Structure 1
């Protein structure tokens, strides 16, 4: 395996490093980022999605599927790894109940980590969060489109920042009877959620130099795919002032494209996401139909080879082997505001640690090829190249460039 000795970004400006899902639930929490710490600390600002609850006050939410929780002390490695800000807008952030969510925010704040996308009430959950770096002011927004009923914040009720959509199922051929055939799926945003998002985005744009919008979204049951909700929302964000869009939830990487010259990372996969004791966890929670053969068979048909299940040799990562390809998005912003987007590949080892590799190494080329397939499968007009000399990206990166003609 290649070394983690990845040179930092070069040139003046500011570099944002962003990863997908992070959650530490292992016997020795301090080992979680031992291999990635130096890489992450090369970024001026480091972002991730906190996919669970760190708290000593867990009251399991009634609508939680398989709850993802760990003691508050397990959050410490995130600070040691250099995370500056974490999204709490995801389908596990309320697994431990309202008090646990709020105590986790306090725990992370005490560690010097800002949080965004959840709060004591709707206004707090949807509010931008600001960071100052290198003479620039960055605004972060985080919203979730995937979560159990009741996790959304409301006036006077803690929760996450919601960005929901109605789903429509339409027959493929309206002129043919074909019972049971898979339909065409389309979505329409909830007006109240979209209005709240655009209000917060307008505030962020007015009060900052750089706006980063983060979304928990998409279909995690298949590789590569993007929903119309993801595409529409990403473009909406940029059209109304976002400079960078970061997506997560899929547990596998997704493609990248540019809109109006701004990068959209549709899915950053997971980075360090511990999910131990899966068999016992599912049996206890009755999740994925465990204990009910007909339901288990239906879930197996739906997910196929991508079903969450124990994977030999990877006790903390019960996901398809494709999920072991990961990395960090790198966005370099020059003093003049020019944006360059790249990716530092990594491979997750059996200890569930991301080992960063150069994009031109054997392991790096495997990740790059996967990203190329992600882009090709969804016809994203993006090419992956070695970093250009003026990109400001680390030399170990791959750089994304738009091939769109508009």
Structure 2
């Protein structure tokens, strides 16, 4: 029994991408043929949706908050046409336009058969894992974010699955992982952790990842930095970005990223294939030439810092995930 998960990083369909959606809803306008072919080869496609999908709400009134991301409801159709199976909503943009917009997001996605995890109508729903059955395997998915605290779901209020990771992994997270492991063949934990634009995980993130693995996580796949980080099996510290209109940092190159294809069997994660991506304005293509060479150096060096070997093979970077 095997399954392949396609894990993509921050996917922001608001602002400039939303403007493009008013012109075209053709999937080819947003992901190249090569990228879509890799998604089609996967059994499950999971992305971090870094916006709400709604035509309701007003900007969340956090003092000093610079960015509020909202995409039109038809963005859900684009995700469905791209083959997205599941999105994590546990991040710092899920409540950008308030409670109604968050609940709209879940409704629009679930109407199209796209599962959501990490945010909900109350704390219990926000923290509830989902179960994927694929390739004969039962894979539990748990999502959480360590920022911002004011987006946290409460017992009687919508929001995200918030965990104060700098203060230590809370027991609700480790308990959820342990319970899921007892019911599933594998457990994927996908945290939105740490600040933007960092070249590697902060010490508290490494400690948190260790705690999640010790609790029973088969795979940890994080995001938030907008920059791909290294791999320390079974931890993918940051998936980088996938589709957006973001400004480009010419040193960290947040416009260069990877699509992570993870093969699992009944023993857990077996192999990672990382596909080089180049993020244009509202469109993502396979990285070529100098961009691909830069990504190859960046990722192999980042993995080497954890004692992990990333090997170039048939136009993708591969990592053995068997611990």
- TM-score for both structures, normalised by structure 1: 0.72
Per-residue CA deviation, residues 150-178 of structure 1 (Å, 9 max, x unaligned), is 2001111111001114xxxxxxxxxxxxx
The equivalent residue for 1:128 is 129
What is the 5 A alignment of 1:223-234? 224-234=199-209
Per-residue CA deviation, residues 218-238 of structure 1 (Å, 9 max, x unaligned), is 23243x132122101111111
Matches of 1:160 and 1:67, distance apart in 2: 16
Matches of 2:3 and 2:321, distance apart in 1: 21
Give 1:246 deviation, angstroms: 0.6
The structure with the larger Rg is 1
Give 1:142 deviation, angstroms: 0.5
1:357–1:396: 8 Å Cα contact kept in structure 2? no
| Equivalent residue pairs, number | 309
What residue ranges of structure 2 are gaps of 5+ in the alignment? none
What is the 5 A alignment of 1:5-404? 13-25=2-14, 26=17, 27-29=19-21, 30=25, 31-35=29-33, 36-63=35-62, 64-147=65-148, 149-165=149-165, 187-189=166-168, 194-222=170-198, 224-258=199-233, 263-273=234-244, 316-321=245-250, 322-335=253-266, 337=268, 339-349=270-280, 351-357=281-287, 363-376=291-304, 379-387=305-313, 395-401=314-320
Per-residue CA deviation, residues 332-385 of structure 1 (Å, 9 max, x unaligned), is 113554621231111123x33221248xx6543321111123335xx3111111
Per-residue CA deviation, residues 219-268 of structure 1 (Å, 9 max, x unaligned), is 3243x13212210111111111111111111111111112xxxx211111
The equivalent residue for 1:285 is none
2:219–2:269: 8 Å Cα contact kept in structure 1? no
- Secondary structure in structure 1 of the residue aligned to 2:179: helix
Give 1:131 deviation, angstroms: 1.2
Give 1:37 deviation, angstroms: 2.2
Per-residue CA deviation, residues 103-135 of structure 1 (Å, 9 max, x unaligned), is 110100012110100111111111110111111
- Secondary structure in structure 2 of the residue aligned to 1:67: coil
Go from structure 1 to structure 2 and tell me whether the alpha carbon gap of 1:202 and 1:338 turns closer, same or farther (over 3 Å shift): closer
Per-residue CA deviation, residues 187-219 of structure 1 (Å, 9 max, x unaligned), is 432xxx611111211221111111100011123
2:218–2:269: 8 Å Cα contact kept in structure 1? no
Give 1:397 deviation, angstroms: 2.2
Matches of 1:318 and 1:243, distance apart in 2: 34
2:256–2:276: 8 Å Cα contact kept in structure 1? yes
